[in-house]
Amino acid sequence: MIQLRHYQQAAVQAVYDHLRTRDDHPCVVIPTGGGKTAVIAQLCRDAVQHWNGRVLVLAHVKELLEQSATTLRRCAPNLPVGVYSAGLRSRDTQAPVIVAGIQSVYKRADELDAFDLILVDEAHLLPPDGEGMYQTFLSDARLINPQLRLIGLTATPYRLKSGLLCGTDHLLNHICFEIGVKELIVQGFLSALKTKAGRKKANYQDLHVRQGEFISSEVESLVDTDELVGAACREIAAATADRHSVLIFAASVAHAQHIQTTLQALVNQECAVVTGETPPAIRDQLIDRFKGRAVPSNLFGDSLPPLKYLINVNVLTTGFDAPNVDCVVLLRPTASPGLYYQMVGRGFRLHPGKQDCLVLDYGDNILRHGPVDAIQVVARKSGSGDAPAKECPKCQTLVHAAFTICPECGFNFPPPEKNKHAEQASNAGILSGEITDTEYDVQEVAYHIHVKRVASENTPRTMRVDYRIGLDHWQSEWVCLEHQGFARQKAISWWRQRSPDPVPDLVERAVQIANAGGLAYPVKITVRDIAGEKYSRIISCELGPLPDPVDPEHLIAWDEEEVPF
């Protein structure tokens, strides 16, 4: 049995205090490397051994299910743990603790019988669209046990592609326990961090955002140049001379290969690349070498040498555990605070001989999101909108925005400019009934499945389209693809203006196509406000070029990772 650290025990106690005093759903926030699984194991042990209860641990991809089941069995070897997952070809229903895929069980609460606790691990990976499955399962499970309680656990209380995880109308409602990165570093449970910005960087100001992230094609064309890659690799080679394990995040496969070729020539040693296309056996071998494990190269027992440099594209984030990483290089920008945290978090863990972890940021991510122990997710309602961190122009050290003198080199930052009046007066109507049409540039667009809260099971769903047209200003519209009559005709017209693909009958298909880049990007929208009316509406949209039809093989929704039995 694992002995809990003081903050892990405090997290367990906070969960119990919440369950005793509140009726909503709590969330526990512990940083990457801080030991969430030990907390999960303790909650499971208490429920089963002290209260004769049952626990369901939910996730939405089979890789996380495998990882959760394996780690739970290691942390609590005397606790029977079953797995219910179509993707893993396992359908345990009787164990006191079951790890399950939500896609496999959300309509099968009766098969699994009563649970007392449901734990959602890696809760930040829960897509907003997917909460419907959890709500469906919870409703059915509460018919079996009305006292059922839900608990979320995560390192980041915000989703990778959207805002805060907890809220009144969300699946999880309240953070009952949170401990920060800095606290665990000071207490010796996580590695210390050092940060530097790259001297030669791209200008990311004009990038567009789609589904909570910068558009990949725009990022690749911006960062994958000989000048930028060459300058960055020269800096990386110099800065990592005394480092042992350097994890590099690239923007695309071509960008990763460009970095690989350039860096290998500078450091005169192998630099490996791992992408989503890398065969699993080769990926496992490269990761083992990067972690310093012996990997045989022939039948005579010879081993391949360890890898110091490992470049990856969107694969080594959540769930990747390499405590030996002592340098993280961000050679890509991200608009997602969650992904930023997950990338930097690969260097949090302690390791023998590791003094600290150096973070080299070439994507302005620290300036964009703030220090990793103080990430700012909720856009400010007022104030100047200044970045939560700033870069010293003399030594490139990244410090909190409140510093007036650089702690590294002594540079004196100039005082900030005073707030200025807005360049334009408000367009809002002053008299009721006054019509105001305003054109906005679209900074980001997101597509979701929308179901009315009080809707019956047979009520048609819609595709909700959210346009970000300001720092904290969103405008939404609803496309009624599953409706009949005039609403369906409007949806058909809307779709044909944006896509060469056939008009879908189901909202899931529409969202899949949209997320695969199958809709023309909205460049501008015109919004009509009528003074005295509560809601604005979109009356026109300027679209970019019509995309090519989407390859059906690329349409893999998050909830199709597993196929129900």
8-state DSSP, 314: S
The beta strand positions in 367-457, using DSSP E, are 389-391, 398-400, 435-441, 444-450
* Distance (Å, whole) CA 306 – CA 287: 10
| 197 alpha-carbon distance from chain centroid | 23
The CA distances from residue 87 to 91, 101, 445, in Å, are 10, 8, 32
Which domains are seen in the chain, by residue range? 6-179 (3.40.50.300), 190-376 (3.40.50.300), 435-560 (no CATH)
In the block, residue with structure tokens 């007066």: 425
Report the amino acid identity of residue 545: P
Strand order of the sheet with strand 97-101? Answer: 90-91, 81-85, 97-101, 55-59, 117-120, 149-154, 26-29, 174-178
Could you list the pLDDT tens digit for every one of the 565 residues in the chain? 678 999 999 999 999 999 999 988 999 999 988 988 889 999 999 999 888 999 999 876 666 777 778 878 888 888 889 998 877 788 888 899 999 988 888 888 888 889 999 998 888 776 555 567 778 888 899 899 998 999 999 888 876 555 677 877 788 888 999 998 888 988 999 998 888 777 777 888 888 988 778 999 999 999 999 999 999 999 999 999 999 999 999 999 999 999 999 999 999 999 999 998 999 889 989 999 999 887 877 776 778 889 999 999 988 887 678 899 999 999 999 988 888 888 999 999 999 999 999 999 999 888 788 777 766 564 433 334 445 556 666 655 566 565 556 655 556 666 554 433 333 333 333 344 557 788 899 988 988 888 876 667 788 999 999 998 876 678 899 999 999 999 999 999 999 999 999 999 999 899 989 988 899 999 999 988 775 566 788 999 999 999 999 887 666 544 433 333 2
How big is the CA angle at 491 (ends 488 and 493), to the nearest 5 degrees?
A: 115
What is the CB neighbour count within 10 angstroms for residue 431?
7
The CA distances from residue 46 to 55, 175, 488, 556, 557, in Å, are 10, 21, 52, 38, 36
How big is the CA angle at 543 (ends 537 and 548), to the nearest 5 degrees?
A: 130
What's the pTM? 0.64
* Cβ–Cβ under 8 Å, residues 396 and 199: yes
- Supply the pLDDT for residue 312: 95
The beta strand positions in 8-91, using DSSP E, are 26-29, 55-59, 81-85, 90-91
User: Considering just the CA atoms, what is the radius of gyration of the chain in Å?
Assistant: 25
| φ/ψ of residue 153, rounded to 5 | -135, 135
The beta strand positions in 427-493, using DSSP E, are 435-441, 444-450, 462-470, 473-479
The beta strand positions in 15-96, using DSSP E, are 26-29, 55-59, 81-85, 90-91
* Distance (Å, whole) CA 202 – CA 223: 6
* Distance (Å, whole) CA 509 – CA 502: 11
Report the amino acid identity of residue 310: L
For residue 289, give the nearest of 313, 272, 312 by alpha carbon: 272
The CA distances from residue 196 to 55, 68, 240, 377, 387, in Å, are 44, 34, 12, 22, 16
- Supply the pLDDT for residue 341: 87
Torsion of CA 343, 349, 354, 355, to 10 degrees: 80
- Token digits of residue 65: 């299910």
* Cβ–Cβ under 8 Å, residues 111 and 128: no
